[in-house]
Structures are given as C-alpha cells and as structure tokens.
Amino acid sequence: MRSAFYISDGTAITAEVFGHALLSLFTVEFKHQTIPFVETEQQAEKVLLKISESFRESGQRPLVFYTIVNTDVRKMISKSVGINYNFLDQFVAPLEKALGVPSMPEKHRTHSIHEKTYDIRIDAVNYALANDDGSNVKDYHEADIILCGVSRSGKTPTSLYLALQYGIKAANYPFTEEDMGDVLKIPPALKRFKKKLFGLTIMPERLHQIRSERRPNSRYASMQQCRMELREVENLYRKEKIPFLNSTKFSIEEMSAKILAETGLQRRKY
C-alpha cells in the first residue's frame, strides 16, 4: 500500500486537509501518516528516516504533503525520497505579488488560539452540551439555531460540530413519540423560536439500523415506528416551512456546511 505523509511544524491540520482533498480524487488506497510539530532539524531527520523506511518496505515513493515555516527544516523535508508537495510554496509567492506585501511566516499562527474567537467557540460548545436533546429549553433565546428531528437523526453530533468548528450556538430538540399525538405540531417550547428551527431527517432503513444497534428488537427500533416518526416530522417541516436536510448520506462536516449555507449563519472561526 502506498503511504502518504502529512508533515508540519504546527498541527499538520492544513497539510492533512489539503492532502486528503487531493487524494480523494483518486481511487487508490493509502496508508496515511500525520506528523505534527516537526520544529527542529533533529526531528526532521527522524521524519526522513520514516519516509525512507516506507519507501524500502513498499517499493513505492511515498507522497509527502508539508507546510513548514522554518526554512532549514523545510529544506530538509524537501529532500526526502518521497514525492514532495510544499503547499506554502505553491501559494505564497503569487499572493505576495497580488497583495503587494511580503509574507511574514510564523509557526502555529494558523491554528493557534485567537482569544476572542476561541472563547466564542468554547462558549458555544458549553451551550450545545447544556442544551442537548431538549434538556434545557429556557435558554433557547440565546441559540443561533435549534436543530430538531427524531431520535438518532444526527442532531447532537451536528450541534457539537457547529459549536466547536464555527462558534455557532446550536441547541437541539428531539421529536418523541409523545409529541406525535394525532398530528405532530410544533411543541410549545419551540413556537417562539420557529425562525431558528432547522430540521433533520434520515432514511427509515438507516434509522432502523442505528436504533437497532442501540436498542435491538424494541418498538423504538422497529421499521414501522421509524417510518411513522419520519413521516410525521417531514409533514411538519413542509407544513410549517421549516428548512430541513436528510442526513443519511452526509458526513457531519457536510451537514454542517449545508446548514450554514442555507441559513446564512456567520462562521466565528477566525
């Protein structure tokens, strides 16, 4: 199996994201290795040994994606036996020309703590935890968005991702069997905040699978129950004109991006 290395004198998140995005275009299986905080020449030597060892074992030159600010360390990594891609070199010079100012590289700047936005994200995570699964409806006036849907449709992980990545205060509310009644209506706790509601739904087969792993052979997990609950919530979304998204085939990252695009909520990341 061919190896792909993601190397940085910081967190290596940028190298990972760029590298994975490029490799996802190819139907080739890779062994991924991420090596962050390569800040000295001694550490770079160890990385070069790993790359060389990978080459010897597989007989194929590894792909090496790196973002390194330190000039000496960067030069060392660029001489590895792998096929090397320095993302910074590709973009910095054209940007300097376009902006008319020189770049001022500094380690850890990309993913370091920016006090204001970092605090916003931590507050948003605490909010998401405190307002998970309809456990605390008294603070909904603070919410940027309230995700709603049946149990196990992806509300909690999406709320936490929106909070951690973008500083979005996301509460979430589950529609339970008790809410269904004759016809599902917007619960009293949500009526004042209808404009903040965003619905999630999911294919019945996938919901049945997820619930069966949690509570096998239960009424809660039965296909009939899953179909009934999903039919009710989707009817409610359409009747009340609540925007909604089917989470079946999307990752948390994709769902979050789609929600932000549809709602126009402002990212609070940088």
pLDDT averaged over 10-residue windows placed end to end, the chain, 270 residues: 93 91 94 95 97 96 94 94 89 86 69 68 95 93 97 96 95 89 87 97 97 95 96 96 96 94 87
Return the pLDDT at 105: 65
Query: How, if at all, do strands 63-67 and 83-86 pair?
Result: parallel
Return the pLDDT at 26: 95
Return the pLDDT at 47: 97
Identify the CA nearest to 10 among candidates 90, 105, 114, 110: 110
0.95 exceeded by pTM: no
What distance in Å separates the CA atoms of residue 207 and residue 218, rounded to the nearest whole number? 13
